[in-house]
Amino acid sequence: MKKSGYQAYQAGAIETVASTGGQLMPPVMGAAAFLMAQFLEIGYAAVCIAAIIPAIMYYFTAFIQVDLIAAKNKIISSEKEYPRLLDVLKAGWHFIAPFVALILTLFIMNTEAEISAIYAAAVMAVLGSIFSYKGKKLNWKGFITSFWKGGQHHAVIVVIVAAAGFVIGILNITSGSFVLTLFLIKMGGGNLFVLLVIAAIISIILGMGMPTTGVYVILAALVVLPLSSRAFSPFPPIYSFFIMA
């Protein structure tokens, strides 16, 4: 991107925004999506369906912004630097197979997320040991190393969720969750729309310094109860007026 004409800070910002959206885009979403399915006791497919429209809108707005920057700075991409699609598929077609296995087991077979991940990893291990990519194959050393690296990534998620669990536990023991719930209900003034706006603001503030999984666990424990309270009207006053009319 820098070679094409984007400034260094622009290239870094675009990469960050595009990578962050990966956890929102089905069918392979971030860890928070699996937590949603577990907390709500629904299928992972239902979470993906609910995320399709927001994810498309997210990337559409990112695309518009990148295109405006390119038009402003007269940036033209060079197609000579890009490899041919057929050459890429010919060299690494077997990397698509694990995603196919993951999608089939999650959506067609309705398998649990952790079991589907094991199936996808097994498919990748078999194909990676048979077919080479740029002269390299999966060997026993790489296979054992993958367990070590996988454990490192998993440990980060465990620590995040555990820390969020401590916060929730402290709030429950000290009745802080009840106080916060009552406070949010009073702030919403009996209006569901206002509470949704407040919840969105809280999620944005927490998301500035916390990973998505931790933010979701905390919000699920604090905001769900006020949202489900009967003290709220499902529509703003002006909407209620038109509905009654």
What are the extents of the domains in the chain? 1-82, 85-138, 139-245
Is this prediction's pTM over 0.85?
no
Give me the DSSP letters along 43-108: -HHHHHHHHHHHHHHHHHHHHHHHHHHHHHHT----GGGSPPHHHHHHHHGGGHHHHHHHHIIIII
Q: How confident is the model at residue 79 (pLDDT cuts 50, 70, 90)?
A: low
pLDDT tens-digit readout, 168-178: 777 777 776 66
Q: Which residue has the higher pLDDT, 99 or 38?
A: 99
pLDDT tens-digit readout, 197-241: 888 888 888 888 777 777 887 787 777 767 765 555 444 444 433
Q: State the first-to-last Cα distance of the chain, in angstroms, to the nearest integer.
A: 55
pLDDT of residue 38: 77
Percent of the chain at pLDDT > 90 equals 13
